[in-house]
A and B are shown apart, each in its own frame.
Chain A
Amino acid sequence: MNNLEHSSEKPSNNQLIYASTVISYIGFLDAIYLTVEHYTGAGLKCIIFTGCDQVANSSYSIMFGLPVALWGALFYLSILLLSLLCIDLKDHPIKEKHIFRIIPIFTLLGFMFTLRFIYLQVYVIKAICVYCMFSAITSTLLFMIGAVLFRRMFYKFRNR
């Protein structure tokens, strides 16, 4: 067994998966809120910052013909379902062989888009949407979890 999994200082893979389940669930709800707002035009209830609607209504809120929020919801839902699948599979080998490799790829993609959206908010739109920044935090946390999983799997399979 991987020593890292039993280290008292570092979280086990299962703990990381539980964390990614919770974080992707929260990110999914945030993205659903933004998606519904986009289609209904209900007006974002801005807290802490002002400027949510400037961001949500900007031309950058659409990507490949769909609202960015909807892409976000699909991203979080994918991670959430993969995490649930990991919980369901318990110690099945497919978990480490495949899912632990897919999650880091997804989270890396999510993180790259997050960086782009932060740049657009700060330097192009010049307004901050608190819901989008919240999503930036959740996708960054998922990226960190994905990176740890990737590193563990990389060393584990290389040392075989």
Chain B
Amino acid sequence: MLNSRVKFWTFSLLFIAFSAYISGSLAVTKSETLLSSALSPSDNIQGDPQAKVILIEYSDFQCPACANYAPMVRDIVEEFKAHMAFSYRNYPLESIHKNSLPSAYAAQASAEQGKFWEMHDMLFENQNQWDSLDDPKETFVSYAKTLSLDIEKFKQDFESSKTRNKVKNDLNSAKDMKLQSTPSFFLNGQLINNPRSYEQFRTLIREAIK
């Protein structure tokens, strides 16, 4: 009797532990996705484009996780800008974020006046203000005013085919690589697991610089 109970529990607990191990292993299976398109002049770049370390982020201005990562990435770039280049590429998840495309256009239109990163920060910092608007364009125009942009040019660039093509090209490259989520980071061409802390991020960059 006791023997059968011991067997029952031994088998059950071993089975549960083994299944948990398999399930955990599936979660850490590393992706081997490689970057499909290298850094180009059309990219928005911070740091030294000739640096040994290139970090590229595929992101969506309406994605809350991307907004959480934005300050961390900004600090990383600030700390390592002499040794690395960072580029932001658009992966607007339109199916779940209705204003992801217009926000990407707003950032790209600001890039035409040399203020991509300022608009990038403003969009992420104020995400809650515009994410549920039916038409966020006026809000983006107000951000452009705050950044002292030429408003007429901003409006033209917002609608221009150059802006839309840049966003579309980024989006297509993300789709080609079948990226599963945002943000997705490529460090020297290799998709990495998203760092969970500033320290983890820092360690990754330091190791790449060595």
Query: Roughly how many angstroms separate A57 CA and B12 CA in the complex, as a whole number?
Result: 33
Interface 0/1 of A111-128, CB less than 8 Å to B = 000000000000001111
Q: How far is the CB of A50 from chain B (nearest CB, A)?
A: 5
Query: Roughly how many angstroms separate A30 CA and B69 CA in the complex, as a whole number?
Result: 25
Q: How far is the CB of B47 from chain A (nearest CB, A)?
A: 23
B26 in the interface (beta carbon within 8 A): yes
Q: A88-B5, A88-B8 are in contact. Are A57 and B23 (CB under 8 A)?
A: no
Which residue of the partner chain, among A36, A39, A54, contacts B196 with CB atoms under 8 Å? A39
A58 in the interface (beta carbon within 8 A): yes
A54 contacts B8, C-beta separation under 8 Å: no
B24 in the interface (beta carbon within 8 A): yes
Q: A53-B181, A126-B96 are in contact. Are A58 and B64 (CB under 8 A)?
A: yes
Please give, as numbers and ranges, the residues of chain B lying within 8 Å of A43 by CB-CB distance. 31, 180-181, 184, 191, 193-194
Which residue of the partner chain, among B20, B63, B65, B97, contacts A28 with CB atoms under 8 Å? B20
Please give, as numbers and ranges, the residues of chain A lying within 8 Å of B14 by CB-CB distance. none
A42 contacts B182, C-beta separation under 8 Å: no
Query: Roughly how many angstroms separate A41 CA and B185 CA in the complex, as a whole number?
Result: 11
A29 contacts B19, C-beta separation under 8 Å: yes
Q: How far is the CB of A28 from chain B (nearest CB, A)?
A: 7
A127 contacts B64, C-beta separation under 8 Å: yes
A25 in the interface (beta carbon within 8 A): yes
Main secondary structure of the interface of A (DSSP, over half): helix
Q: A25-B19, A127-B96 are in contact. Are A40 and B31 (CB under 8 A)?
A: no
A44 contacts B181, C-beta separation under 8 Å: yes
Query: Roughly how many angstroms separate A118 CA and B107 CA in the complex, as a whole number?
Result: 32
Query: Roughly how many angstroms separate A52 CA and B93 CA in the complex, as a whole number?
Result: 12
A-side interface size class: 35 or more
Please give, as numbers and ranges, the residues of chain B lying within 8 Å of A51 by CB-CB distance. 93, 96, 181
B28 contacts A42, C-beta separation under 8 Å: yes
Interface 0/1 of B17-54, CB less than 8 Å to A = 00110011011111100000000000000000000000
Query: Roughly how many angstroms separate A130 CA and B201 CA in the complex, as a whole number?
Result: 27
A49 to B, closest residue via Cβ? B96
Q: How far is the CB of A99 from chain B (nearest CB, A)?
A: 15
Query: Roughly how many angstroms separate A131 CA and B182 CA in the complex, as a whole number?
Result: 16
Query: Roughly how many angstroms separate A32 CA and B20 CA in the complex, as a whole number?
Result: 6
Interface 0/1 of A83-119, CB less than 8 Å to B = 0100110000000000000000000000000000000
Query: Roughly how many angstroms separate A54 CA and B69 CA in the complex, as a whole number?
Result: 11
Please give, as numbers and ranges, the residues of chain A lying within 8 Å of B24 by CB-CB distance. 32-33, 35-36
A29 contacts B23, C-beta separation under 8 Å: yes
Which residue of the partner chain, among B20, B30, B183, contacts A42 with CB atoms under 8 Å? B30
Interface 0/1 of B150-165, CB less than 8 Å to A = 0000000000000000
A158 in the interface (beta carbon within 8 A): no
Q: A46-B180, A54-B181 are in contact. Are A40 and B28 (CB under 8 A)?
A: yes
Q: How far is the CB of B18 from chain A (nearest CB, A)?
A: 11
A50 contacts B64, C-beta separation under 8 Å: no
Q: A42-B28, A50-B96, A59-B68 are in contact. Are A126 and B131 (CB under 8 A)?
A: yes
B68 contacts A42, C-beta separation under 8 Å: no
A145 in the interface (beta carbon within 8 A): no
Please give, as numbers and ranges, the residues of chain B lying within 8 Å of A54 by CB-CB distance. 63-65, 96, 181-182
Query: Roughly how many angstroms separate A36 CA and B21 CA in the complex, as a whole number?
Result: 10
Shortest Cβ-Cβ A-B pairs, 8 listed: A53-B181, A57-B65, A36-B27, A36-B24, A41-B193, A29-B23, A41-B194, A37-B27
